[in-house]
Structure 1
Amino acid sequence: MSNVVLETRGLTKEFNGFTAVDSVDLQVQQGHIHALIGPNGAGKSTFFNLLTRFLPATRGEVLYRGKAIGTLAPNQIACQGLVRSFQISAVFGHMSVLENVRVALQRPLGTSFHFWKPASSLDRLNQRAMQLLEEVDLQGFATRKTVELPYGRKRALELATTLALDPQVMLLDEPTQGMGHEDVERVVELIRKAAVGRTVLMVEHNLQVVSSLCDRITVLARGKVLAEGDYPAVSANPQVREAYMGKEAAHV
């Protein structure tokens, strides 16, 4: 299918006889926000690590825009436009908010490790860095040390650094984890805005986020695909209710 941007075929990961991801076939459509949900231990984060080669697959393949990427290094995959975030906020706490984004902007230029150059040489990146901060409503925090930011704002900053790599497909691992209601609403709107013209695959536990944001949902359980479809179809599936949603589904 020409509109499939990311696909897995029989993707499997085994650890000493334990199968964490079991023959998963997945297709992510261009322009969709696609959620990957499931109970703890379902294999979601392992699956993300396989997509971006932070872990090698035992069997199966990953295709990005129709081409197998299973032999590429994580940085090579990112350079092709498939960029991920992590469950734990990955920002530099003692740098300013602007500097964090500027470091991310350096990566495509190949200048991230030019330590001997004066800081002023990076000033040309400031305008684009500020544009990215405006996209995630952090323009008023540009000079603040990142360690001083509330948790929700740090996750917004992480989204800005992800956008700095100009991703075509964003892989977001638990983007609202540990947030209060107000921060969740803010980050959902930021993801919705960032997704315009892009494709998003996200691991997410918050079912209200999934129901309001995602075009398609894949449910993993014990490493296998249990169900797939839009939210009404998935939430009505008795196996999904039993394996993942439980009583919570009645309140979403």
Structure 2
Amino acid sequence: MSDVILEAKQLTKEFSGFVAVSDVNLQVKAGTIHALIGPNGAGKTTCFNLLTKFITPTAGQIIYKGQDITHKSSAEIARIGMVRSFQISAVFPHLSVLENVRLALQQRTGTSMHFWKSESTLNHLNDEAMAYIEEVGLESYAKDTAVSLPYGRKRALEIATTLGMSPDLMLLDEPTQGMGHEDVDKVTQLIKKVSAGRTVLMVEHNMKVVSSIVDTITVLQRGKIIASGNYAEVSNNPQVIEAYMGSSSNATLGAH
């Protein structure tokens, strides 16, 4: 698929005179995994927060599926299929894995405020919830509380709750941050698996993850896009090398 699902046009964000994101033009193609990367202070988190409607742009436009969403809220865009995961923690620690995913389904179906109803009235959601739990490999943990899960499994649960919102575009914020190598590999493969039939936009610092699963990489520096393309193109771009290494002399962007 080559249709553009998400587009930013001349996106700009100023904070008290400081330009954090400057004139960013970005296209995310449907059915791909797209990563925003950049050195510390590059503006990638601010850009991601703009695209996911957690902050409002100073100027510019955001288009999702041909619709202008520049002034819509994060809740409004979630309802039309653009769902962000991996904020601080997207799960309720003392609910079970099944209950967490079921809550995401309740939110999608508009019954999330029905707290006064008997739990048995939610059992019709169990099969669908289990399907998402199985998709992320947590079926043996379905009755366990979220707080008891190992760190990598918590991230898998966050993906399952995101899937429960039926996203066309999944937005992942540093999905492997703070993980050991084994968990990084598991979550990387999980993102690859759940991206089938969906689009993923992610902020990611781990170049091994980016090089192994991402189709398109957009590199930011000082709030501006300096390169966009596949890993081979971006990793050999002199501007990118200089941004990361501080020098353009025979350095390459390593997958570490």
Could you say if the C-alpha distance between residues 221 and 196 of structure 1 is closer, same or farther in structure 2, counting changes exceeding 3 Å?
same
- Quote the Cα distance in structure 1 between the aligned partners of 2:193 and 2:166: 14
Could you say if the C-alpha distance between residues 143 and 250 of structure 1 is closer, same or farther in structure 2, counting changes exceeding 3 Å?
closer
5+ unaligned residues in a row in structure 2: which ranges?
none
Contact in 2 for aligned 1:87/1:175 (Cα 8 Å): no
Amino acid at match of 1:110: G
Identical residues among aligned pairs (%): 62
Contact in 2 for aligned 1:87/1:177 (Cα 8 Å): no
1:55 equivalent to 2:55? Answer yes
- Quote the Cα distance in structure 1 between the aligned partners of 2:87 and 2:212: 21
Match of 1:88 in 2: 88
Amino acid at match of 1:192: K
Matched position secondary structure for 2:175: coil
Match of 1:179 in 2: 179
Contact in 1 for aligned 2:6/2:29 (Cα 8 Å): yes
Matched position secondary structure for 1:244: helix
- Quote the Cα distance in structure 2 between the aligned partners of 1:200 and 1:141: 25
Match of 1:17 in 2: 17
Matched position secondary structure for 2:27: strand
Q: Give the TM-score normalised by structure 2.
A: 0.95
Give per-residue Cα distances to partners, 1:118-174, cap 9 Å, x unaligned: 111111111111110100000000111111111111011000000001000111111
Could you say if the C-alpha distance between residues 39 and 250 of structure 1 is closer, same or farther in structure 2, counting changes exceeding 3 Å?
closer
Could you say if the C-alpha distance between residues 245 and 151 of structure 1 is closer, same or farther in structure 2, counting changes exceeding 3 Å?
farther
- Quote the Cα distance in structure 2 between the aligned partners of 1:250 and 1:163: 32
- Quote the Cα distance in structure 1 between the aligned partners of 2:245 and 2:133: 35
1:3-42 to structure 2, matched below 5 A, reads 3-42=3-42
- Quote the Cα distance in structure 2 between the aligned partners of 1:77 and 1:152: 27
Shift of 1:46: 1.2
5+ unaligned residues in a row in structure 1: which ranges?
none
Shift of 1:86: 2.6
Match of 1:104 in 2: 104
Shift of 1:241: 1.3
Moved over 2 A (4+): 86-89, 244-252
Over the aligned positions, Cα root-mean-square deviation in angstroms equals: 1.6
Shift of 1:67: 1.5
Q: Give the TM-score normalised by structure 1.
A: 0.96
Match of 1:240 in 2: 240
